[in-house]
Amino acid sequence: MAETNAGPMLAADGTPLKKSLARALRRQKLRALMLIAPLLIFVLVTFVIPIGDMLLRSVKNDIVADTLPATVEVLGDWDHDAQELPGDDVWTAFYVDMWFAAERKEHTRLGTRLNYELTGVSSLFRKTGRRVDRFDTDIYADQFVALNPEWEAPQTFAAMLDGPAADELPLTADAWARWKEFNVEEGDAVLEEDVPDFVYTALHYELSQGAEVTGASERLRAAAAAVGEFETVSLRDQFADADEDWLDPEVWKTIQLYSPRVTPGYFANAADMQVTPEGLESRPENQQIYGVLFKRTLFMSLVITGSCILLGYPVAWLLANLPMRVANLLMILVLLPFWTSLLVRTSAWKVMLQQQGVVNDVLVWLGLVADDARLTMINNQFGTIVAMTHILLPFMILPMYSVMQTIPPSYLRAAKSLGATNWTAFWRVYFPQSVPGIGAGSILVFILAIGYYITPEIVGGNTGTFISNRIAYHISSSLNWGLAAALGTILLVVVLVLYWAYDRIVGIDNVKLG
């Protein structure tokens, strides 16, 4: 007995029973998985991956490091608190970066990105991009060539920078490597092109900084000895000449702050805050908007859900309790709006509710409202709530109806026969059974409402717009997709949290669609 208990239980073929069972089950699971695979792949490819990709944009910030790789590296050491401009190492690296960015037309894109954080950067980059290949840095090439004509040949640089000197002259080697890459992209042979000015500029800078070139070629050592005597041109002045904003430390602070490839900046912005070198700070009050909009979106969605319940419940009850023929007719009336374009329904409300509209005209005609004091019922919160309640009502009525249909009328009759009043019978017997329908309808309506966009845009005026209107603005107008993604992510999280809370309080098992 003791012996059989010691080892694991074995199957007929000698493998442990547990393993054998798992294998058999795995096969079954795989088969089931294959059945749902088409749907799974479809959902993944068309839904999860695109949405995930969009949400990732809320933190992604590759553009600065990709466009200004050399600058980002040296700018990391710059002390932004000193209120002093970066040194020549940054200017030289930035010159090289900007040259490539301008050639590839990436500088304006970067300008647009940084303009979200600091106003004016957009035109700063655009202007500089036009100037950067006309800087007065050609004097370096002339002086190197005057020193030794071999400096004119690209072969000289190729031999030097593909060889041992590369370690001593990292910036020049980097500029040369990117120049080679650039020529491959353009389909040119690097050894047939003139060596560009920025390579000479970088070389001059590194030699004048006392790069260790003792072991290098005679030519390079001679150059290293001679650069002290060279006539120089200040890159800082060249940039300032293109646009004097380069002398503003704020510009450099912004570049430094947004150098990392992952940024909390968009989320901070979405929470009415901004990233500063000292940490998160709230934005000036006259720029805070998203908090207000999030609160308003939630509040109005709740009001809309509430009014849908109030209006939908009696209709659903009628539908469920009237004779079949009448109920079907009513049902068509409920479904009719579904077959009408959303835009048409929204515009119809405009005609109804505007000051010279149908409702006001009737009220004035009845004498309830003075002609010069017509009610403002559209282009505000009220109009949005009315129009959206109307549009979302079917989503409330249908689940309620299908739940109410399953409630046997005999329960009510039984309650009454036991002496309950109409009200008690309804409230104690009927209503609790219809709650799952209310729950299902509420979730549907609330989640649809929270992401609604077109109706608030048309009838919302300035007090009835939702957060989704701002998301749409940032997607299609301002092109700040990062911020739009951050706002979208927050909205998604809010909905998930509310769903979770709903599950805890009401219980998702109590929700029925029929």
| Cα distance between residue 264 and residue 441, in whole Å | 37
Nearest CB to another protein, comparing residues 124 and 141: 124
Q: Which of 263, 305, 480, 489 binds another protein (CB under 8 A)?
A: 480
Residue spans of alpha helices (H) in 148-289: 154-161, 170-186, 197-208, 218-226, 235-242, 249-257, 265-270
Residue 462 interacts with another protein (CB under 8 A): yes or no: yes
Q: Which two tokens stand for residue 207?
A: 């030699």
Question: Per CB under 8 A, which of residues 268..297 are in contact with another protein?
Answer: 286-289, 292-293, 296
| Cα distance between residue 442 and residue 436, in whole Å | 10
Q: In angstroms, what is the minimal distance from the CB of 287 to another protein?
A: 5
Amino acid identity at 435: V
Q: Which of 61, 90, 93, 106 binds another protein (CB under 8 A)?
A: 106
Q: How many CB atoms lie within 10 A of CB 237?
A: 14
Q: Which of 60, 63, 69, 123 binds another protein (CB under 8 A)?
A: 123
Nearest CB to another protein, comparing residues 92 and 384: 384
Nearest CB to another protein, comparing residues 106 and 174: 106
| Cα distance between residue 373 and residue 241, in whole Å | 61
| Cα three-residue angle 425-429-433, rounded to 5 degrees | 145
Q: Considering only 115-123, 382-390, 425-433, 494-502, which stretch makes contact with another protein by CB under 8 A? A: 115-123
Q: Considering only 39-47, 214-222, 410-418, 459-467, which stretch makes contact with another protein by CB under 8 A? A: 459-467
Q: Considering only 28-36, 196-204, 352-360, 425-433, which stretch makes contact with another protein by CB under 8 A? A: 352-360
Residue 254 interacts with another protein (CB under 8 A): yes or no: no
Residue 381 interacts with another protein (CB under 8 A): yes or no: no
Nearest CB to another protein, comparing residues 236 and 470: 470
Q: Considering only 36-44, 89-97, 314-322, 477-485, which stretch makes contact with another protein by CB under 8 A? A: 477-485
Q: Which two tokens stand for residue 11?
A: 């199957």
Q: Considering only 116-124, 236-244, 325-333, 422-430, which stretch makes contact with another protein by CB under 8 A? A: 116-124
Q: Which of 116, 144, 205, 252 binds another protein (CB under 8 A)?
A: 116
Question: In 240-355, at which residue ranges do the beta strands (DSSP E only) sit?
Answer: 273-276, 279-282
Q: Which two tokens stand for residue 39?
A: 């749907």
Answer for the pair 470, 289: CB distance below 8 angstroms, yes or no. Answer: yes
Q: Which of 115, 137, 172, 389 binds another protein (CB under 8 A)?
A: 115
Residue 67 interacts with another protein (CB under 8 A): yes or no: no
Nearest CB to another protein, comparing residues 264 and 461: 461
Residue 143 interacts with another protein (CB under 8 A): yes or no: no
What are the CA-CA distances from residue 128 to residues 5, 64, 102 (Å)? Answer: 82, 16, 9
| Cα distance between residue 480 and residue 467, in whole Å | 15
Q: Considering only 66-74, 100-108, 429-437, 496-504, which stretch makes contact with another protein by CB under 8 A? A: 100-108
| Cα three-residue angle 324-341-404, rounded to 5 degrees | 30
| Cα distance between residue 349 and residue 377, in whole Å | 10
| Cα distance between residue 470 and residue 395, in whole Å | 25
Q: Which of 476, 496, 508, 513 binds another protein (CB under 8 A)?
A: 476
Residue 111 interacts with another protein (CB under 8 A): yes or no: yes
Q: In angstroms, what is the minimal distance from the CB of 429 to another protein?
A: 46
Q: In angstroms, what is the minimal distance from the CB of 182 to another protein?
A: 16
Q: Which of 152, 461, 498, 514 binds another protein (CB under 8 A)?
A: 461
Query: Three-class SS of residue 215?
Result: coil
Q: In angstroms, what is the minimal distance from the CB of 494 to another protein?
A: 18
Q: Considering only 122-130, 169-177, 211-219, 423-431, which stretch makes contact with another protein by CB under 8 A? A: 122-130
187: left (phi over 0), alpha (psi -120 to 50) or beta: left
Answer for the pair 111, 123: CB distance below 8 angstroms, yes or no. Answer: yes
Residue 341 interacts with another protein (CB under 8 A): yes or no: no
Residue 478 interacts with another protein (CB under 8 A): yes or no: yes
Residue spans of alpha helices (H) in 57-168: 62-67, 69-75, 88-103, 107-115, 121-131, 138-147, 154-161
Q: Which of 109, 131, 221, 416 binds another protein (CB under 8 A)?
A: 109
What are the CA-CA distances from residue 195 to residues 166, 179, 185, 199, 415 (Å)? Answer: 16, 9, 17, 7, 97
Question: What φ, ψ does residue 480 adopt, rounded to 5°?
Answer: -85, 75
Residue 120 interacts with another protein (CB under 8 A): yes or no: yes
| Cα distance between residue 440 and residue 508, in whole Å | 9
Question: Per CB under 8 A, which of residues 164..223 are in contact with another protein?
Answer: none
Nearest CB to another protein, comparing residues 74 and 251: 251
Q: Using CB under 8 A as the criterion, which residues of the chain lie in contact with another protein when the complex forms?
A: 105-106, 108-109, 111-112, 115-116, 119-123, 126, 286-289, 292-293, 296, 354-357, 379, 457-458, 461-463, 465, 470, 475-480
